[in-house]
């Protein structure tokens, strides 16, 4: 199954001068889930209907990283768009999406960095419109730069999340435990919009992906009957 992040990755791969090699591993990876073939989880990809949409604006090489979790969002949320970020130009398709009258877009970013009048903390029901969550998919320093240097986003309300849990993401290190990965942020957005099943599915799918990813690096077989796998099977029907 191809989705927006996979297509963006293919476009970015085509521009490479030499093959991209993930840090710490040169083993071949499944193109469908980016995990080593021995630990492929494509058969576990869940399907959950959602009313919300996701718009990922991805920093330059983010689509190339096998540890990127924006890919998981596109697996779960059918209406996911993905665009590469550039300081000097913007994809016209992104502007078209943000102006589409069916969507009510929200730029998800910490409210402490934004003028108070732009900040919202809830997702109201707007007749005839669907929430579209715009996520800056990057490291925290990169995301702050993208936020400052993307004037075409300045008209959007900024959704400031108030996460109670610490990040469970284990594939990259952050200096702060309260910095969530992109799929954790998306799950919070879904929950805030009343999409509890989709939110829980995405959270669980991240746990399963993380287990497969780390077990593959350590040459440990995945435990398909652990709590995360059982919870994922209970939440959603795997994609065919």
CB 67 within 8 A of CB 217: no
Model confidence, pTM: 0.91
Tens digit of each residue's pLDDT (9 = 90 or more) over 189-199: 999 999 999 99
- Residue 153 DSSP one-character state: G
- The pair of structure tokens assigned to 170 is 């284990």
- Quickly list H helices, 56-181: 70-76, 92-99, 140-148
| CA separation for the pair 182, 139 (Å, rounded) | 9
- The pair of structure tokens assigned to 165 is 């849990």
Per-residue pLDDT band for 69 (boundaries 50, 70, 90) equals very high
Tens digit of each residue's pLDDT (9 = 90 or more) over 72-94: 999 999 999 999 999 999 999 99
- Sign, CA dihedral 113-117-121-126, equals negative
- The pair of structure tokens assigned to 227 is 């709590």
CB 84 within 8 A of CB 58: yes
List the domain boundaries for the chain: 42-162+176-238
| CA separation for the pair 202, 47 (Å, rounded) | 10
- The pair of structure tokens assigned to 27 is 């083993």
């Amino acid at each position: 199954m191809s989705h927006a992040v996979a297509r963006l990755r293919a476009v970015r791969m085509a521009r490479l001068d030499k093959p991209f090699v993930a840090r710490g591993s040169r083993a071949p990876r499944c193109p469908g889930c980016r995990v080593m073939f021995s630990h492929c989880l494509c058969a576990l990809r869940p399907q959950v209907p959602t009313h919300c949409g996701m718009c990922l604006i991805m920093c330059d090489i983010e689509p190339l990283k096998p540890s990127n979790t924006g890919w998981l969002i596109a697996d779960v949320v059918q209406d996911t768009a993905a665009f590469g970020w550039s300081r000097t130009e913007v994809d016209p398709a992104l502007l078209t999406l943000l102006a589409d009258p069916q969507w009510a877009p929200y730029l998800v970013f910490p409210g402490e960095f934004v003028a108070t009048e732009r900040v919202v903390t809830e997702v109201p029901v707007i007749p005839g419109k669907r929430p579209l969550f715009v996520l800056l998919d990057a490291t925290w320093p990169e995301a702050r730069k993208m936020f400052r240097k993307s004037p075409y986003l300045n008209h959007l309300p900024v959704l400031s999340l108030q996460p109670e849990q610490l990040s469970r993401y284990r594939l990259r290190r952050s200096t702060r435990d309260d910095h969530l990965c992109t799929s954790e942020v998306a799950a919070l957005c879904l929950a805030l919009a009343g999409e509890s099943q989709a939110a829980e599915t995405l959270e669980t799918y991240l746990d399963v992906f993380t287990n497969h990813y780390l077990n593959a690096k350590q040459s440990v077989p995945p435990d398909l009957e652990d709590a995360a796998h059982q919870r994922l099977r209970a939440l959603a029907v795997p994609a065919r």
